[in-house]
Each structure stands twice: as structure tokens, then as C-alpha cells.
Amino acid sequence: MYFLTRYSPRLARKAYRRLFGNEQWFLAVNAGRPLADSAMTGRTPAAQLKVHHAPPGRFWADPFPVVVDGKIWVFFEDYSFASKKAAIGCAPVSADGDLGEVATALECPHHLSYPFVFEHQGRLYLIPDTWDEHRVDLWRCRRFPGDWRRERILLDGVSMSDPTLHLQDGKLWLFGTVSEARARANDELHIYVADALDGTWRSHPANPVVSDRRRARPAGRLFFRGGHLIRPGQDCNGGYGRAVVLNRVDELNERAYAETPIGRIDGSCLGGSGAHTINYADGLEFLDGRG
């Protein structure tokens, strides 16, 4: 599987399943002290986890929550072993972390994952991972939660894994690992910047800004803790999605980027053998784990 990640994250997952059986990911919702806070401060974890497994023949991963009309919803990768691809699922979430009825939010002929859902200027958008299509798409919600229209292509001819948008200093920053030349899909973090969502996206002059498969690949939205901007990254060293690494962003501008790893969440925190996504909404922490 190691050499296959050079070409495609999806091929890497297929190889894992051939070698070790079906790769089973699950969702977890934490209503207690955030595991990220414990990981960064060294405090004893005090999580209140609700773990949610997909029905037989499927797995759920990449949870992204959003608050709509005062209610929390979570969007996630809903993978089918039968069709060998995933759609984007969604479900309402209670205040203590229970999931409501699961529905399909978006399905395409190609594989979809990492549903980066966000609100911008009063509208709800979605940027899924479409690595195999060699582009990054922007979808706009017409009727929540299951009616989406592809608004535009943000990046064309770019194979980007886990595109992650961040708004800062009046600019939009798009993070993701990009496969170029001999680079593997998990190795090199690139940033693109634009002045508006419908503007022109410029490659950061320092790309790749991180060349380290132990933390390069995005693992969720950037967030603030203790006055510091934190970028979650995946540790893919020795295997896909081993752990979430919490990186403090020390510098982010159109000339330079720098970060420092300051914490780590591995699968054992969730009762599993891996973890690769972490996000937040309304006091709840959303993660995934590998069983």
C-alpha cells in the first residue's frame, strides 16, 4: 500500500482492503472535554463519546458538522463496498451526540469523500474530495440538506486530497495535499489563495509548504485554541490515517507558511486503530476512527 499512495488515496485504501479485509471506519461525537485540548495541553482526557457505525457493507468517515437553523447536522463519507465508491451522507445530531435519520446529501458517478461544508456570505457550500477527477469542485446548496448544484470548478487539472478552506485576513486559503511529479498523495501540502470564492486561485510561492507524510494531509477545518490557529493533519507514516496531528500555525501569508506540531490524537482514544478527521460545531467534537 505504501507505494500505491504515490498515485491515488483511493488505490491505497483498496490495497489495504485486499491485504487486511474491509477497512471499517466509524464516526464518533464527543460531548465532553475535547480530545484536541487534552492532546495539546497534556490534561487527562474527559471525553463523552458516542460512537456510530455504518450498516453492514458500508463505512462512515470524514465527519463535517454544520449548524443550520439552530440545528446541528453532520456530513460524512458514506462508502459502499459493493459499488466501491462513496456518496456524501448526512444526519441531524442531538446535543448529546446521537445521530438522527441518515440520508444521502450528494451522489455522483465518481467517488466523493471529505465533505468540506461551510457557510459563506449567507450561503451554504460544499467542497468534496474529487481527487480521481483531477479537479476541485464547489457545490452550492439549493435546498437543505439534499439538493446541491455544482457552482464552479475551483482548480482544474489538480489532483488535491482533502481540500480544506480557511478564511483569514480577507483572503481565502485552500489547503490540500497535491500529487505532483514523484510525490505521493499524502506527502506534500499545498496552499492556493484567492481574494473571493469566485476569484482566481493562485498557487502559494512556498508550495509545497509541508513535505512530511506524518502531518501534511489535512484532517479537518482549521480552528482556534488559546489564541492559536490549529491545522489538523493526518499521520500517514506507515499507513493511511494512523492519527490526527495538531499543528500550530506560526505564519500564514502570501509569502510564507510555517507550522509546529503540538499534539496528537491516535485511534486508541476512540477504541480503534486509526483516526484521520476532527471538526467542531456547537460544543461538540466530531471525529472518525478505524475499527
Q: For 76-85, 178-187, 225-234, 244-253, which range has the lowest pLDDT when averaged over its residues?
A: 178-187
Q: Which residue has the higher pLDDT, 22 or 69?
A: 69
The pLDDT of residue 183 is: 60
pLDDT band at residue 1 under the 50/70/90 scheme: very low
Q: Name the pLDDT band for 2 (thresholds 50, 70, 90).
A: very low
> pLDDT per residue over 128-159, tens digit each?
999 999 999 999 999 999 999 999 999 999 99
pLDDT tops 90 at residue 20: no
pLDDT at 169 over 70: yes
Digit-coded pLDDT (tens) for 252-275: 999 999 999 999 999 999 999 999
Q: Is residue 249 pLDDT above 70, yes or no?
A: yes
Q: 182 or 224, which is more confident?
A: 224
* Domains of the chain with CATH codes: 21-290 (2.115.10.20)
The string of pLDDT tens digits covering residues 190-212 is: 999 999 999 999 999 999 999 99
pLDDT at 179: 83
pTM of the full predicted structure?
0.92
Q: Answer yes or no: is pLDDT of 55 > 90.
A: yes
Residue 291 confidence class, pLDDT cut points 50, 70, 90:
confident
Whether residue 108 is predicted with pLDDT greater than 60 in this model: the reply is yes
SS3 readout for the chain: CCHHHHCCHHHHHHHHHHHHCCCCEEEEEECCCCHHHHHHHCCCCCCCEEEECCCCCEEEEEEEEEEECCEEEEEEEEEECCCCEEEEEEEEECCCCCECCCEEEECCCCCCEEEEEEEECCEEEEEEECHHHCEEEEEEEEECCCEEEEEEEEEECCCEEEEEEEEECCEEEEEEEECCCCCCCCCEEEEEEECCCCCCCEECCCCCCEECCCCCCECCCCEEECCEEEEEEEECCCCCCCEEEEEEEEEECCCCEEEEEEEEEEHHHHCCCECCCEEEECCEEEEEEEC
Q: Share the mean pLDDT of the chain.
A: 92
